[in-house]
Amino acid sequence: MATGEVHSQCAGYTLPVPNVQRLATSLDKSSQIPERYVRPEAEVNVIARTSEIELPVIDLAKLIHPEFSKEEAAKLHLTCQEWSFFQLVNHGVPEELTEGLKADTVEFFNKPLEEKMAYKQDNDGTLQGYGQAFVLSEEQKLDWCDMFYVMTRPTAFRNMKFWPTSPSTFRDNIDRYSLELTKLASCLWQYIARNLGVAPEVFVQLFKDHPQGMRFNYYPPCPEADKVIGISPHSDATGFSILLQINDEQGLQIRKDGEWIAVNALPNALIVNLGDVTEVLSNGIYKSIEHRATINTETTRISLVAFHGPDNLDMLQPLPEVVGDGKPNYGSMSYQEFMKAYFEKKLEGKSILDMLKILIRN
């Protein structure tokens, strides 16, 4: 894809919305929140049964270790089938780097609004910058969250005007983290490919240039926390996402067997979840997982999600190697069209994939 062209990984427009961080600081404990943030569905279905359910942990050191690899790869396969979600430990990303990135991110969001607005989105169709995503009508309910998004790979797609110059180490830490995750992603793809019975080269080809975007989410506290949603239920469009909790606050929930389960991330773990592209490529052997973020009354939560998508993909459809003699469970759609459809809708569960499934019934 030519430099300068809008990359499908981050195509999209969004309407401007109020800054939630500022809104939150203007409220006190007895304030009522503006109607646009009130989400009736937020209250009813909070089920946090983490004490009963063990969230899967995959150990990368074991995965790449000749002696333990087979066993850990089998665990990875089962986890991808049953959860599409896992916490990755011993992932090899240096702690000194994640700690530096965390400190920079906190410092950036703590800057005065005017300073952050120097990096605001400019409606260039890429969603990059400081602002919000997936807001498509003035009536739409809003998420209790500000976001800051940059396209990090391929490096030719970087638009440095959105990369903050302060804190002084921020750019370099984003760059280094981006590279570390790229290495991690290609390692994981190889095991995922093998687990699906696909030659790793097929995946190497699909994900060759490692398109990667990073979304920093800032969730301020809210006096009526049980009425708002940090990020609406959705599945990620990409191959897989890797989430780093920037501070120690929890708030991520995943939907499993119809119930919302709170994720209490292990301190140094990276949280990996499979996206829609992987669901389709794997013909539904792996499903993308729906997730959302909740808000609390006292503390701010910050997260960083890195999306890893395919590059060398014309048509999004189940891989022939996976379908074999069986039947495809999804129709086929141009990848560009798929991403366009994803960004032209508000975040709403897995509705785009349902569309692909319907295609096949007709």
Of 126 and 253, which CB lies nearer to Ni ion in the complex structure? 253
Q: Which partner, ligand OGA, Ni ion, none, binds residue 8 by CB below 5 to 8 Å per kind?
A: none
Lay out the site mask for ligand OGA across 221-260 (x = CB under 6 A, - = otherwise): ----------x----x--------------xx--------
User: Does position 84 bind ligand OGA by CB under 6 A?
Assistant: no
What is d(CA 325, CA 296) in angstroms, rounded to the nearest whole number? 50
Of all helices (H) and strands (E), which one includes residue 302? strand 301-308
Can you say whether the dihedral through the CA atoms of 180, 181, 182, 186 is positive or negative? positive
Closest distance of CB 339 from ligand OGA, Å: 15
Of 85 and 170, which CB lies nearer to ligand OGA in the complex structure? 85
Taking contact as CB under 5 A, which single stretch among the options 119-127, 191-199, 236-244, 317-325 is the one that binds Ni ion?
236-244
Of the residues 75, 91, 116, 215, which one makes contact with ligand OGA according to CB under 6 A: 215
Q: Which residue has the tokens 């569960």?
A: 349
Of the residues 174, 237, 293, 313, which one makes contact with ligand OGA according to CB under 6 A: 293
User: Does position 72 bind Ni ion by CB under 5 A?
Assistant: no
Of 63 and 237, which CB lies nearer to Ni ion in the complex structure? 237
Closest distance of CB 269 from Ni ion, Å: 17
Half-sphere exposure for 245 (CA within 13 Å, toward CB)? 19
Taking contact as CB under 5 A, which single stretch among the options 105-113, 203-211, 229-237, 307-315 is the one that binds Ni ion?
229-237
80's tokens = 């991808």
Give the Cβ contact number of residue 107 at 10 Å: 14
The neighbouring-strand residues paired with 58 are: 88
What is d(CA 215, CA 130) in angstroms, rounded to the nearest whole number? 10
Taking contact as CB under 5 A, which single stretch among the options 38-46, 71-79, 233-241, 336-344 is the one that binds Ni ion?
233-241
User: Does position 287 bind ligand OGA by CB under 6 A?
Assistant: no
Residues 6+ apart with CB under 8 A from 278: 84, 192, 239, 240, 286, 288
3-state secondary structure labels for all residues of 126-190: CCCEEECCCCCCCCCCCCCCEEEEEEEECHHHCCHHHCCCCCCCHHHHHHHHHHHHHHHHHHHHH
User: Does position 236 bind Ni ion by CB under 5 A?
Assistant: yes
Q: Which residues bind Ni ion (CB under 5 A)?
A: 236
Q: Which residues bind ligand OGA (CB under 6 A)?
A: 215, 217, 231, 236, 251-252, 291, 293, 303, 305
